[in-house]
Amino acid sequence: MMLRIRMCEESLVDPILKGEIRCPVHLYSGQEAVATGIGAALEQKDFIFGNHRSHGHYLAKGGDMAAMVAEIYGKETGCSRGRGGSMHLIAPENGVMGIVPIVSGTISLALGAALSIKIKKEDKVTVSFFGDGATGEGVLYESLNFAALKKLPIIFACENNLYSTHLPINEIRTNRNIFNIANPFEIETFRVDGNNVLEVYETAKKAVEHCRNGKGPVFIEFLTYRFRGHVGPDDNIQGSHTDIRPKEEIEAWLKRDPLILFKAYLTENNISTGSDLELIHQQVETEVIAANDFAKNSPKPDKEDLCNYVFK
Amino acid sequence: MCSNSRKLNFGLAINEAIHQMMEADESVFLIGQGVKSPWYVGNTCNGLVQRFGEDRVIDTPVSENAITGAAVGASIAGMKAIVVHPRVDFVLYAFDPIINQAANWYYMNGGKASVPVVFWLIVNRGGEQAAQHSQALHSMFAHVPGLKVVAPSTPYDAKGLLISSILDENPVVFIDDRWLYRSQAEVPEKAYQIPIGKGIIRNEGSAVTLVSFSYMALESQKAVDELKQQGIDVEFIDLRTIKPLDTELIFESVKKTGKLVIADGSWKTGSVAGEISALVSENIFEYLKAPVKRVCLPDLPAPASASLESVYYKTKDDIIKAIKEIL
């Protein structure tokens, strides 16, 4: 799954630079372990809500790759029929309930989905994905309080990639210990290495279990890093192809690439051989090429359909 | 014994609609600040907690943004939420879930998921409550694609429109007004719907068309009655829904009378009254025999002192004056 996300994301870089993809694209490269580990701990019936950087969440929860890439290309065959773009992906049949770019915009929606689970007495869990930037929004704290008060089955998954668009975390918070924000609400809290997919999975499994047992919400901070710019492939300022982040910092994190770490684990423990991994690589490459071909060859929405889908 | 003649006040009509819809459909639930307290919501929530329990009648912390978002999220996940804000002013904290999320949801997701939620907002004007407890913000919601906005003026319409709003697959803003809660009228006991988007002619006439909705419809009716005694026949349309507007009903009437006065209980600039005026001049200008008149609040915050309130809020006298200016 991590490889699927990575290769799919990287396949978008050229089309973005060539202008074939025009909508804002926030690549998930570097953070794959978080979506993958959580996705593996969830079942199809469970809900997730995402944010501007959610390609990985969508794929890890079972969203169709071709429909996602087509959406990013603004095509009628896209998962949102070309009305949403990269920042509005949806796959309700797989529990991908909503993805939006308003920072913290889906936290309360996830809260409501968790509330619906409680009212209907269903055996489901909701995950709300947000970043370190969302910790500046009041609605996060309102939601933490209400989730704790009503013991709702929701996992607050904070992907701390150290940058809130262009601002390093030191410029938006007095300290880096985001996981502490849930403590005053008496919410079970974890902080894990977000680049270690096994650690993410183990913690997510515990959190899912906690929610399914009716013990209320869980807050998890994942320490991770995005390899690409805030939006687009390279930088925070479109067109200049420079990155505001220190070069040494980027290089250090590239050494902690979640795919490299996991590959090393598989090899060292004799779980997979080089040829296994090569086969997987080929399969994923085939899927990614097919998804891009499907997207490129799909029609744009018909201009006459502009007014569709305002009301059901 | 004739159940058809049973009278209910405005609040109990709403109460009955909620009871009946929650009884009929387990996915309907009510959430909001003060649903357990008559201090906030009057008699509208009588007996609901006792009958349906605290899982489906949820009084909340003061967290308008998260609670409104939770109502939206629950509706995305298969429920039909009614979220109440006992003062419209409080909902300004919740514009993100209402506008960014609910209103856009169906479109931006390519029709893959709709949000069957009701935002029930109570305008709480008067009573020296001043600027932050008195605002009528229906025009702001009417501006937004993807929202339907209803504003009933009678107990009968309140019940029927609330039921229609709950049954609608889209987000509906149901706005009523504290001053309507004094009214009492016949309300059938059975559940029934008033179609969203349809106004009603309350009084047929030929001299001038008067269009209004919500509380100003009551003032309009008083104006109509008084003018009738003076031999002036006003055609009075109560819109009941302000988005989508029943333009056909308005246009047909204005074609007949050639004159139009609109009474809107909010500020004049950017108002529903302004929108109706624009639609009429855009589409049936040739029928107009006089300038369109708007009776709206002046463009300033609601004052506290009763002496200032008495000139701030518009009444039947202002409507009569406006009508006479173009007769």
Is omega for the bond preceding B155 within 30 degrees of 0, making it cis?
A: no
Whether A158 contacts A135, CB under 8 Å:
yes
Residues of B in contact with A98 (CB under 8 A): 76, 101, 105, 109, 113
User: Is A94 within the bounds of a domain?
Assistant: yes
Q: Measured between CB atoms, does B205 come within 8 Å of chain A?
A: no
CA atoms within 13 A on the CB side of A44: 5
Q: Is B74 in contact with A115 (Cβ distance < 8 A)?
A: yes
**pLDDT reading at B1 higher than 50:** no
User: Is A304 within the bounds of a domain?
Assistant: no
User: Is A72 within the bounds of a domain?
Assistant: yes
Partners of B120 in beta bridges: B84, B174
Q: Is A108 in contact with B107 (Cβ distance < 8 A)?
A: no
Optimal mutation site among B22, B33, B76, interface A, most CBs of chain A within 10 A: B76
Residues of B in contact with A126 (CB under 8 A): 77
CA distance A285 to A207: 33
Give per-residue pLDDT as tens, B15-69.
999 999 999 999 999 999 999 988 888 899 999 999 999 999 999 999 999 999 9
Three state DSSP letters for B167-234 = HCCCCEEEEEEHHHHHCEEECCCCCCCCCCCCCEEEECCCCEEEEECCHHHHHHHHHHHHHHHCCCCE
Q: Measured between CB atoms, does A307 come within 8 Å of chain B?
A: no
User: Is A307 within the bounds of a domain?
Assistant: no
Residues of B in contact with A92 (CB under 8 A): 112-113
Nearest to A112 by CA among B49, B102, B167: B102
Q: How does strand B184-186 pair with strand B172-177?
A: unpaired
Quick one: CA torsion of B60, B66, B67, B70, rounded to 10 degrees?
A: -130
**Which tokens hold the place of B182?**
């004094």
**Strands across the sheet with A126-131, in order?**
A96-99, A47-50, A126-131, A154-160, A218-223, A188-193
Q: What percent of chain B has pLDDT over 90?
A: 95
Average pLDDT score over residue span B185-205: 98
**pLDDT digit string (tens) for chain A, length 312 residues:** 999 999 999 999 999 999 999 999 999 999 999 999 999 999 999 999 999 999 999 999 999 999 999 999 999 999 999 999 999 999 999 999 999 999 999 999 999 999 999 999 999 999 999 999 999 999 999 999 999 999 999 999 999 999 998 889 999 999 889 999 999 999 999 999 999 999 999 999 999 999 999 999 999 999 999 999 888 887 544 455 567 788 889 999 999 999 999 999 999 999 988 899 999 999 999 999 999 999 999 999 999 999 999 999
Q: Measured between CB atoms, does A82 come within 8 Å of chain B?
A: yes
Cβ partners under 8 Å of residue A158, min gap 6: A130, A131, A132, A134, A135, A178, A179, A219, A220, A221, A222
Residues of A in contact with B146 (CB under 8 A): 310-311
Whether A142 contacts B65, CB under 8 Å:
yes
Q: Is A139 in contact with B70 (Cβ distance < 8 A)?
A: no
Please tell me the predicted confidence (pLDDT) of residue A236: 47
Q: Measured between CB atoms, does B146 come within 8 Å of chain A?
A: yes
Residues of B in contact with A312 (CB under 8 A): 106, 111, 114, 169-170
Give per-residue pLDDT as tens, B289-324.
999 999 999 999 999 999 999 999 999 999 999 999
Q: Measured between CB atoms, does B79 come within 8 Å of chain A?
A: yes
Q: Measured between CB atoms, does B60 come within 8 Å of chain A?
A: yes
Closest by Cβ to B76, choosing from A97, A119, A138: A97
User: Is A45 within the bounds of a domain?
Assistant: yes
Please tell me the predicted confidence (pLDDT) of residue A232: 87
CA distance A154 to A157: 9
Average pLDDT score over residue span B4-14: 92
Q: Measured between CB atoms, does A98 come within 8 Å of chain B?
A: yes
Please tell me the predicted confidence (pLDDT) of residue B4: 59
Whether B187 contacts B5, CB under 8 Å:
no
User: What are the φ/ψ torsions at residue B97 (nearest 5 degrees)?
Assistant: -65, -30
Give chain B's end-to-end CA distance (angstroms, integer).
46
Residues of B in contact with A109 (CB under 8 A): 69-70, 72-73, 76, 97, 101
Q: Give the CA distances from residue A300 to residues A15, A77, A81, A306, in Å, rounded to whole numbers and listed in that order.
A: 16, 8, 9, 12
* Residues of B recognised as catalytic: 64, 133
CA distance B176 to B180: 7
Domain residues for the domain of A278 are 2-299
Give per-residue pLDDT as tens, B150-168.
999 999 999 999 999 999 9
Whether A131 contacts A51, CB under 8 Å:
yes
Q: Measured between CB atoms, does B169 come within 8 Å of chain A?
A: yes
Closest by Cβ to B76, choosing from A98, A120, A138: A98
Whether B73 contacts A48, CB under 8 Å:
no
Average pLDDT score over residue span B142-148: 98
Please tell me the predicted confidence (pLDDT) of residue A247: 84
Q: Residue for token digits 């009212």?
A: A119
CATH number at residue A19: 3.40.50.970
- Please tell me whether the overall predicted TM-score, pTM, comes out greater than 0.80 for this model: yes
User: Is A309 within the bounds of a domain?
Assistant: no
Please tell me the predicted confidence (pLDDT) of residue A237: 47
Give per-residue pLDDT as tens, B213-272.
999 999 999 999 999 999 999 999 999 999 999 999 999 999 999 999 999 999 999 999
**How many Cβ atoms sit within 10 Å of the Cβ of residue A60?**
25
Give chain A's domain count: 1
A77 → chain B, closest CA residue: B110
B293's enclosing H/E stretch is strand B293-297
**Prediction ipTM score:** 0.95
Optimal mutation site among A119, A144, A156, A298, interface B, most CBs of chain B within 10 A: A119
User: Is A308 within the bounds of a domain?
Assistant: no
Average pLDDT score over residue span B189-210: 98
CA distance B139 to B124: 16
Q: Is B106 in contact with A82 (Cβ distance < 8 A)?
A: no
User: Is A306 within the bounds of a domain?
Assistant: no
